[in-house]
Structure 1
Amino acid sequence: MMSEKLAEQFDSDKVAAFNAGLLHDISGIIPNSKRISFAEDLGITILPEERMFPMIIHQKISRVIANEVFNIDNQQILSAIECHTTLKGDSTKFDNIVFVADKIEWDQKGTPPYLNNILKSIDLSIYHASYAYIKLLINQKDNLKVVHPWLLDAYNDLTNKVN
C-alpha cells in the first residue's frame, strides 16, 4: 500500500499509515446524493463548498466512521483521513503522507496526469510532493467545481514550507 511505502520513506508510523490507507475512503459506501444529510446526522460541520460538491465531504465522514465504527482513536490517523482529499493548513508530515499516497494511488483508469510532478517533487520532501499537486489544482482552479477552503489553506501553508 502506497501509504505504508511513503511512511517508511519518510520515517513515519507504517501501521498507522496502513490503517489510514484502508479507511480513508470508507465513506464511499454512501452515495453522493446522501452525503450531506448523512454528515448533518453525524453533526459534522459542512462548508458551503461541500454542499455544492458533496463528494468532498467524504473525507470528514470517513473520519467519523473510522472513529465510531472501527474504534480508531489515534488522532494522527483521524486527522489524515479527514484531510486526505483537500489537505489543510498546518498539516502534519503524516497528513501529507496519506494525502500524497491518495493522489499516487489514483482511483480512475490510466495514469494520473499529475503523477510525474509528484514523483519528481517527492525526492525533495513529502511537503514538496503535496505542493506540486496542489499548485497544479490552484493553477487550474477556474476548471474546478469548487475550491475547498482547506485546499487554499494548505496551498498557503505549503508555499511557506517549501520556499
Structure 2
Amino acid sequence: MNNIAQQLLAQYLEPYHPEQSIPDYLEYTFDKNHQQDTWQHSLNVAKQAVMLAERYGADQHTAQYAGYLHDLSTLLTDHEKVILAEQLEIEILAEERQVPYVLHQKLSSWLAAEWFGLDEPDLLSAITCHTTLQAELGTMDKILFVADKCSWASEDSAPFIHQMKSAAEHSLDDAIVVYLDYIWQQREQMVLHPWLKAAKAAFDMKQTGQLLSTLPALSQPISWGPVTARFQPITSLDEIDIAQISNISIVPMVGDQVVIMQLEDGRWELPGGTLEEGEHYVTALEREVMEEMGATLIDYYVFGYFQCISSAETPYRSYIPHPSFIRLTVYGQVQLNHQPLNPPDGEQVSVVDVVSIEEAIKRLSATGRQDLADFYQIGYDISLRS
C-alpha cells in the first residue's frame, strides 16, 4: 500500500491490532465517522446472515463477520473510493466509474484481507460480490447478498424485499431471482454492472435447464427425417460457430401472445427455414417471417439452437454445412401485415393464428407435434424472463 492510500485510509481508520475485537473496532470506527446507521445495518446483516447460514448449512462465524465487514469502505466518499482503488491497483470497470459507490464491495473485501488479516476465501468472495453478485456464486456469496438486501430499512424504496424474504425461507436461489427479476424490469433506468448481467444470465440458464428437463420432446434427441437434432439453450452467439448456422426458427409473438402457422396439408409447422446461399441469418429470419406469415420482424432474441446431424449422403443444399449444422432458435415480436407470400419453392401456409401460449401448445400437441409444443413453451418462458 503506497503513501497516498495510507493517508486516505488514515482519515477514517485507526491502526488495527490483532488483539482487538473486530466488532468493537468497527463499532468505534463507524461511530467516530458519524456513520452509526451503517454500523446498525451491518449488525442487522450479520444477524440475518447467521440465520441463513444455520438454515443452509454454512459456517455461521464466516457469515457473521462478512456481515460486519461488508460495508466498511462506505466510510469513504465515492470520489475517494475511485482514488483508493486506483492506488491499490484494483480494477475499475467502466460501470464502476459511472457509479463509484459499487466499488465499496471490492474495497471492503481488500480491507478485510489487508487491514484485518482475514484470509477466509468464502468471506472475501462474499464481500467482493455482495452488491452485484457474479456469474459463479458459492453458498456464502448468496447468504451475504440475500442478508444484505433483506436488511434494507425501507420496503418502500425496495418493494421486492417482502417477496425476497419469503423466498429465502426455502431457497437462496429463489430469493436472488426475485431481486434479479425486479432489477431487470428497471434496467433501462439503471447502470447495470457486468457482474450482475453475468449473474442474471447464469440464473436464467439454470432456470431454462430446469424447464428443459420437464419437456418430453425437447429434452431428448429429435428425428426430422434423416436429421437428428438436439436442443441446447444459450445466452450468447459466442457459444456457437456462426458459420455452422444453416437454418433459423422463431417463436413469433404479438404482445404476450404467439403466432402459429398451419400448412395447406393440415400440418402445424415451425416458423423459419433454411438460409439462402450467402444469406445472413438475420436476413433469412426477416425473409421467412414475411414469406410464411406476411409479417415484419420487429425484434429478435437468441435463446438456443438445435445441433443437427444428417445421415444423408449429401447436404440438403450444396452450400450448407454437412453432416453437422446448426438451426438457430430465437423468439421475437412480429407485426402481421398481410397474407403469407407463399413463394412456389417454399412451404404453403394456409392459416396464421395469434393465440395464447396455452392454446398454441394445445393445438401443436393434439397434432402430434410435441417437439413444436415444447419449442414454443421454452421460447415463451425465456421471453418472460428477459
Q: Matches of residues 57-72 of structure 1 in structure 2 within 5 Å? A: 57-72=103-118
Q: Does 2:176 align with 1:101?
A: no
Tell me the CA shift for residue 34 of structure 1.
1.2
Q: Distance in 2 between matches of 1:153 and 1:25?
A: 23
Tell me the CA shift for residue 134 of structure 1.
1.3
**Mean Cα displacement is larger for which, 16-25 or 118-127?**
118-127
**Mean Cα displacement is larger for which, 116-125 or 151-160?**
116-125
Q: 1:150 aligns to what? A: 195
Q: Distance in 1 between matches of 2:112 and 2:203?
A: 27
Calculate the aligned-residue CA RMSD, in Å: 1.3
Verify the 8 A CA contact 2:146 2:168 in the aligned structure 1. no
Structure 1, gaps ≥5 residues long? none
Letter in 2 for 1:148: H
Q: Distance in 2 between matches of 1:100 and 1:76?
A: 15
Q: Would the alpha carbon gap of residues 139 and 29 (structure 1) be closer, same or farther in structure 2, given more than 3 Å must change?
A: same
TM-score of the superposed pair, with normalisation by structure 2: 0.40
Determine which structure has more spread, i.e. the larger CA radius of gyration: 2
Q: Does 2:97 align with 1:51?
A: yes
Tell me the CA shift for residue 127 of structure 1.
1.0
Q: 1:14 aligns to what? A: 60
TM-score of the superposed pair, with normalisation by structure 1: 0.93
Tell me the CA shift for residue 131 of structure 1.
1.3
Identify which of 115, 132, 137 aligns with 2:178.
132
Q: 1:32 aligns to what? A: 78
Question: Taking CA–CA contacts closer than 8 Å with sequence separation of 6 or more, which of the two structures ends up with the larger relative contact order?
Answer: 1
Structure 2, gaps ≥5 residues long? 1-46, 211-386
The number of aligned residues is: 161
Q: Distance in 2 between matches of 1:93 and 1:110?
A: 25
Verify the 8 A CA contact 2:155 2:161 in the aligned structure 1. no
Q: Distance in 2 between matches of 1:152 and 1:19?
A: 27
> Can you list the C-alpha shifts for 1:54-97, whole angstroms capped at 9, x where unaligned?
00111000010000001110010000000000010011111011
Q: Distance in 2 between matches of 1:110 and 1:31?
A: 25
Letter in 2 for 1:151: L
> Can you list the C-alpha shifts for 1:84-124, whole angstroms capped at 9, x where unaligned?
00010011111011000010111x54553111221232234
Verify the 8 A CA contact 1:87 1:154 in the aligned structure 2. yes
Higher helix proportion = 1
SS of structure 2 residue aligned to 1:61: helix
Q: Does 2:164 align with 1:113?
A: no
Tell me the CA shift for residue 156 of structure 1.
1.1
**Mean Cα displacement is larger for which, 127-136 or 50-59?**
127-136
Higher strand proportion = 2
SS of structure 2 residue aligned to 1:113: coil
